[in-house]
Structure 1
Amino acid sequence: MTDLILHQYAASPYAEMVRTALGLKGLSWRKVDQPNIMPRPFLTPLTGGYRRIPVLQVGADLYCDTGLILRELDRRFPDSPLTSANASGAAWALRTWAERAWFGATVAIVFGARGENVPQDFIKDREALSGRPFDVAALKAAAPVMAGQWRANADLVETQLAGAGPFLFGKQATAADLAAYLNIWFLASGEPRAFSRLTTGYSRLLAWQERMKAFGHGKPERLSAEDAFQIAAAATPEAQRTSIGDDAQGLAPGMAVTVMPDDYGRNPVAGEIVFVSPQEIAVRRQADGAGDVVVHFPRAGFVVTPVT
């Protein structure tokens, strides 16, 4: 089987979700350390402009967004699945809560505390990514309010663990655990004093944090970004699965489309549909210097626009 290649950087909480999933499944993988700001000269040509991290590469197939990456890991490696029988849909749905609503509070607390220490090149990059000002003063002002929201969301985890068991849906960690854990990991590593204060009295959450941490990151080996690009150039995209018909937008293989996130990093990727389902869309495109690649996106949280 072609190697799993994860384009990531160490401080990315979204990459930590995937690293923990790789540890949970006990997988070997190759780690490409990307800068936390643009440019990424060997990755951008492969993805066609998509600029969020992480990206999973398998030969000439690129998988964007953590939710789709986790689904693809489950498809390829069904042992230790990231859903359970009683949470086959809910575990995925809770990602939206953890990665959007709760994460907004986490970001405000972490960057509000760092304040003027945030580098200017990082601020400019995130302004380009989000399309709005990265206002450190506003984040500092919002941090006390967001602290209450953060603890309210943490309280939901504590309450759920009281009835469910060692993980959010029982004995097995799911995608919901991974998504909730990104907020725990990011606050604990980015602003440990706030983390200690906001988790006071949450013994179940803290024990759960240690169980999540114990999964580790599997068996990573380093790979350069240039070598990953050459692997894509030498590979052929995998044969696609049969698309599911009756698409809500009328999408079908062969159609030209653009795909982009619906919240931030709204850089459209253009290509020809080769696979479409309610949860995934894959487009074939020509990568400069690498030839044919297929870029895969989730449907939820992404905008697909036919090109006429």
Structure 2
Amino acid sequence: MSDLILHHYPTSPFSEKVRLIMGHKQLAWQSVIIPRIMPKPDVLALTGGYRRTPFLQVGADIFCDTALICDVLEHHQPEPTLYPDRLKGMARALAQWADSTLFWAAMGYNLSPKGAAALFADQPLAHAQAFAADRSAMRTGMVTLRPGDATAAYRSYLRRLSSMVEDQPFLLGEMPCVADFAAYHPLWFSRVVNPVMADILDATPAVIEWMDRMAAIGYGEMGKLSATQAIEIAAAIEPAPLPEDIFQNDHGIALGSRVTVAAETFGQEPTEGILLAATRTRYTLERTDERAGKLHVHFPRVGYVLREVRA
């Protein structure tokens, strides 16, 4: 297997989720820092349209969405597992809640007028305006919580997390699982990226202690690459062979069709390519870029929409 290359930026909460999983599994990986906002020409050369952060590159294979990245890293290094026996379903369901409901409540709180003012206090006004416009475009069609509603929900969710870690070190037991990493990153944003907003955590000291245990995991062995180097790596290698069981036909769209895949909600920019696989859990598209060459771009089925491109 080629090197693990994570395309991310330091203050990205979902990137923190994956960085800690790298540490949990004691993996060596390469870091490529990408822009926070558009334009992202080097990103699009690899993904073909997908612009959410982070994404994982393994040679000429591009894996989008942290739910899929977790599965890829689990396959690459099964121990310690993200999906403990007898708790796999619960761990995945709790992680999905944390990556969506908890995350958006936390962001509604963190980016309230007070939070946004603190986050951009040392930056030119134009930077804050550009960030706000970029994220507004990504939220097209979404219903988002107002700051007051987000704050109330966030407080409630923190109490629920607290009840889970008052008598055990991690959410589902003695070892962290995928749910811990998913629940941690929105809280990390409050505590580390925008500490002016961290006082909301004070009412749940058990959560703070759990966060300390999570932070102690670290990031594993991190190297550094430029975006140009990552694109050159993709161009120099063929995508990995696909497994034999590659088609679960839930859409009536044949393999070999030209299709798009896009997120259901946040960041709906589509990636277009040839449908190579539609397995039980993921889609794989083949696309070609003039800089990166032939690529396989992979998406999870849950949370994404497959559409056929008709002439």
TM-score between both structures, scaled by the size of structure 1: 0.91
Aligned match for 1:126, one of 108, 120, 135? 135
1: distance between equivalents of 2:141 and 2:175? 39
CA distance in structure 2 between the aligned counterparts of 1:91 and 1:252, rounded to whole angstroms: 33
Residues 1:160 and 2:164 aligned together: yes
TM-score w.r.t. the length of structure 2 is 0.90
Q: Deviations over 1:111-147 (max 9, x none)?
A: 112345461111222222222699xxx98xx333322
The aligned runs of 1:39-50 (5 Å cut-off) are: 39-50=39-50
Kindly indicate whether residue 156 of structure 2 is the aligned counterpart of residue 149 of structure 1. Answer: no
What is the number of equivalent residue pairs in this alignment?
A: 301
2:178 pairs with 171, 175, 179, which one? 175
Aligned counterpart, 1:31:
31
> Matches of 1:144 and 1:188 in 2, distance apart?
19
- Residues 53-100 of structure 1: CA distance to partner in whole angstroms, max 9, x if unpaired? 101000000000011011100011111111101221221222221121
Q: Is it true that 1:67 corresponds to 2:76 in the alignment?
A: no
Indicate the RMSD between aligned Cα atoms, in angstroms. Answer: 2.1
Deviates more, 1:264-273 or 1:251-260: 251-260
Deviates more, 1:199-208 or 1:94-103: 199-208
Q: Is the 1:233–1:291 Cα contact (8 Å) retained in structure 2? A: yes
Kept after mapping to 1: 8 A contact 2:142/2:266: no
The residue number in structure 1 matching 2:77 is 77
Answering whether residue 281 of structure 2 is matched by residue 271 of structure 1, we say no
For the residues of structure 2 that align with 1:133 and 1:236, how far apart are their CA atoms?
Answer: 38
SS in 2 for 1:211: helix
Take 1:211 and 1:280, find their aligned partners in 2: how far apart are those partners?
32
Query: Taking structure 1 as reference, are residues 42 and 215 closer, same or farther at Cα in structure 2, changes over 3 Å only?
Result: same
Segments of 4+ moved more than 4 angstroms: none
Contact in 2 for aligned 1:127/1:133 (Cα 8 Å): no
Report the Cα offset of residue 193 of structure 1: 4.1
Partner Cα distance (1:294, 1:133) in 2: 29
* Aligned partner letter, 1:68: L
DSSP-derived class of the 1:56 partner: strand
CA contact (8 A) 2:14 2:66 kept: yes
CA distance in 2, matches of 1:160, 1:252: 45
Q: Which amino acid aligns with 2:31?
A: K
Q: Secondary structure at the match of 1:243?
A: coil
Deviation, 1:150, is 0.6
- In 2 relative to 1, CA 181–252 (structure 1 residues): closer, same or farther, beyond 3 Å? farther
Q: Conserved in 1, the CA contact under 8 Å of 2:248 and 2:279?
A: no
Query: For residues 14-37 of structure 1, what are the alpha-carbon distances to aligned partners after superposition, in whole Å with 9 as ceiling and x for unaligned?
Result: 000000000100111100000101
Comparing 10-19 with 255-264, which one deviates more in the overlay? 255-264
Question: Do the aligned residues in 1 keep the contact of 2:27 with 2:221 (CA within 8 Å)?
Answer: yes
- What's the CA shift for 1:257? 1.6
Q: Cα distance 1:128–1:147, how it changes in 2: closer, same or farther (>3 A)?
A: closer
1:305 & 1:51 partners in 2: Cα distance? Answer: 18
Shift of 1:192: 2.4
Q: Does the alignment pair 1:195 with 2:186?
A: no
Change in Cα spacing, 1:92 to 1:246, as seen in structure 2 (3 Å) is same
Does the aligned pair in 2 maintain the 1:272–1:285 contact within 8 Å? yes
CA contact (8 A) 1:251 1:276 kept: no
- SS state of the match for residue 43, structure 1? helix
Indicate the residue corresponding to 2:115 in structure 1: 114
- In structure 1, the gaps of 5 or more residues are none
Bigger CA drift: 268-277 or 72-81?
Answer: 268-277
Structure 2: distance between partners of 1:114 and 1:169: 31
Shift of 1:185: 0.4
Distance 1:254 1:17, change over 3 A: same
Q: Distance in 1 between matches of 2:54 and 2:91?
A: 20
C-alpha distance in 2, partners of 1:251/1:168?
Answer: 40
Q: Which amino acid aligns with 2:140?
A: G
Matched, 1:228 2:230: yes
